[in-house]
A and B are shown apart, each in its own frame.
Chain A
Amino acid sequence: MSMLKEGRPTAPVAVEQGDAIPATFTGNRGLMLEEALIFELGDDRTTGVDLEPAPAAPSRLGGLDRSAPIGLAGLSEPETVRHYTRLSRQNYGIDLGVFPLGSCTMKHNPRLNESVARLPGFADVHPLQPVSTVQGALGVMEQLSDWLLKLTNMAAVALSPKAGAHGELCGLLAIRAALEAQGDARSVILVPESAHGTNPATAAFCGYRVEDIPATEDGRVNVAALTARLGPDVAAVMITNPNTCGLFERDMKVIADAVHGVGAFVYCDGANFNAIVGRVRPGDLGVDAMHINLHKTFSTPHGGGGPGSGPVVLSAALAPYAPLPFVERGEDGSLHLIEEETAGEHHAGSFGRMTAFHGQMGMYTRALTYMLSHGNDGLRQVSGDAVLNANYVLRSLEGVLDAPFGAAGPCMHEALFSDKGLAEGFSTIDVAKGLIDEGFHPMTMYFPLVVHGAMLVEPTETESKAGLDQFIGALRSVATRAKNGDPSLKGAPHFAPRRRLDETQAARKPVLSWTPPAPAEAAE
Chain B
Amino acid sequence: MSRYFTDEHEWIDVSGDIATVGITDYAQEQLGDIVFVELPAEGKVFAKGDDAAVVESVKAASDVYAPISGEVVEANGALEDEPALVNSDAEEDGWFFKLRLTDTSELDELMDEAAYKEFVANL
Q: Which A residues lie at the B interface, using CB under 8 A?
A: 446, 503-504, 507-508
Contacts of B35 in A (CB 8 A): 504, 507-508
| B33 and A504 form a contact (CB under 8 A) | yes
- Minimum C-beta distance from A268 to chain B (A): 25
Interface residue total, chain B, C-beta cutoff 8 A: 8
- Minimum C-beta distance from B91 to chain A (A): 21
Listed from nearest, the 4 A-B pairs whose CB atoms lie closest are: A507-B35, A504-B33, A508-B35, A503-B58
- Minimum C-beta distance from A45 to chain B (A): 40
Q: Which residue of A lies closest to B83 (CB)?
A: A508
Q: Which B residues lie at the A interface, using CB under 8 A?
A: 33, 35-36, 56, 58-59, 83-84
- Minimum C-beta distance from A250 to chain B (A): 30
User: In whole angstroms, what is the CA distance A508 to B35 when docked?
Assistant: 5
- Minimum C-beta distance from A446 to chain B (A): 7
Q: Which residue of A lies closest to B84 (CB)?
A: A508
Contacts of A503 in B (CB 8 A): 33, 58
- Minimum C-beta distance from A166 to chain B (A): 22
With contacts A504-B33, A507-B36 taken as known, whether A446 is within 8 angstroms of B58 at the C-beta atoms is: no
| A507 and B59 form a contact (CB under 8 A) | no
- Minimum C-beta distance from B122 to chain A (A): 19
Contacts of A508 in B (CB 8 A): 33, 35-36, 83-84
| A446 and B59 form a contact (CB under 8 A) | yes
User: In whole angstroms, what is the CA distance A508 to B59 when docked?
Assistant: 13
User: In whole angstroms, what is the CA distance A446 to B60 when docked?
Assistant: 11
Contacts of A446 in B (CB 8 A): 59
Contacts of B59 in A (CB 8 A): 446
User: In whole angstroms, what is the CA distance A508 to B56 when docked?
Assistant: 10
Contacts of B33 in A (CB 8 A): 503-504, 507-508
User: What are 9 pairs between A and B in contact, CB < 8 Å?
Assistant: A446-B59, A503-B33, A503-B58, A504-B33, A504-B35, A504-B58, A507-B35, A507-B36, A508-B33
User: In whole angstroms, what is the CA distance A63 to B66 when docked?
Assistant: 50
User: In whole angstroms, what is the CA distance A68 to B84 when docked?
Assistant: 38
Give 7 new A-B contacts, CB below 8 A, not counting A504-B35, A507-B33, A508-B36.
A503-B58, A504-B33, A507-B35, A507-B56, A507-B58, A508-B35, A508-B83
User: In whole angstroms, what is the CA distance A178 to B17 when docked?
Assistant: 49
Q: Which residue of B lies closest to A449 (CB)?
A: B60
- Minimum C-beta distance from B84 to chain A (A): 7
User: In whole angstroms, what is the CA distance A503 to B56 when docked?
Assistant: 13
Contacts of A504 in B (CB 8 A): 33, 35, 58
Q: Which of A446, A503, A508 has the most CB of B within 10 A?
A: A508
Contacts of B58 in A (CB 8 A): 503-504, 507
User: In whole angstroms, what is the CA distance A503 to B57 when docked?
Assistant: 10
User: In whole angstroms, what is the CA distance A504 to B34 when docked?
Assistant: 8
